[in-house]
């Protein structure tokens, strides 16, 4: 059984639309590296917006910051000092809570 050109075009159109729907609901892991090969940041994007926890690192590979995202909205930022202790937290409203050098 052979398809007519019209049937073939309809099938191609349906297949292209199905792949378009899947592309809109994609979850992708995102990573970026410094020139020296050390990871710079990593996180997850869903539908091209940040979700979950994002991690940021120095060129030496030390954690410098974490961000918590929900549906593309930044909810919390946690910054770390050179001793890998929490130095400050910033909530979604911009309120900053500073910590002393021990991270407590």
The answer to whether position 2 is within a domain reads no
Q: Is the pTM for the entire model greater than 0.85?
A: no
The answer to whether position 83 is within a domain reads yes
DSSP state at residue 3: P
What is the structure's pLDDT at 81?
A: 94
pLDDT higher than threshold 80 for residue 23 = no
Element (H, E) at 5: helix 5-24
The total number of structural domains that make up the chain? 1
The answer to whether position 15 is within a domain reads no
Domain that holds residue 47: 27-98
Give the mean model confidence (pLDDT) for residues 12-27.
65
The answer to whether position 61 is within a domain reads yes
Q: What's 91's domain CATH number? A: 3.90.930.1
Question: What is the rounded CA–CA span in Å between residue 40 and residue 96?
Answer: 24
The answer to whether position 18 is within a domain reads no
pLDDT higher than threshold 90 for residue 67 = yes
Question: What is the rounded CA–CA span in Å between residue 22 and residue 48?
Answer: 13
The answer to whether position 8 is within a domain reads no
Tens digit of each residue's pLDDT (9 = 90 or more) over 35-62: 999 999 999 999 999 999 999 999 999 9
The answer to whether position 49 is within a domain reads yes
What is the structure's pLDDT at 56?
A: 98
Q: What are phi and psi of 66, to 5 degrees?
A: -125, 140
Kind of pairing, strands 63-70 and 73-80?
Answer: antiparallel
**Cβ–Cβ < 8 Å for 40, 34:** yes
What is the structure's pLDDT at 41?
A: 97
Residue 45 bridge partners (DSSP): 28, 50
Q: pLDDT-based confidence at 74, cuts 50/70/90?
A: very high
Element (H, E) at 96: strand 96-98
Residue 95 bridge partners (DSSP): none
Which residue did the predictor score with more confidence, 75 or 24?
75
The answer to whether position 16 is within a domain reads no
């Amino acid at each position: 059984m052979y398809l007519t050109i019209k049937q073939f075009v309809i099938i191609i159109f349906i297949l292209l639309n199905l792949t378009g729907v899947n592309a809109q609901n994609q979850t992708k892991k995102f990573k970026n590296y410094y020139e020296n090969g050390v990871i710079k940041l990593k996180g997850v994007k869903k539908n091209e917006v940040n979700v979950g926890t994002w991690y940021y690192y120095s060129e030496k590979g030390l954690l410098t910051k974490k961000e918590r995202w929900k549906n593309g909205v930044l909810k919390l930022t946690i910054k770390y000092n050179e001793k890998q202790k929490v130095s400050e937290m910033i909530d979604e409203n911009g309120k900053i809570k500073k910590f002393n050098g021990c991270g407590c």
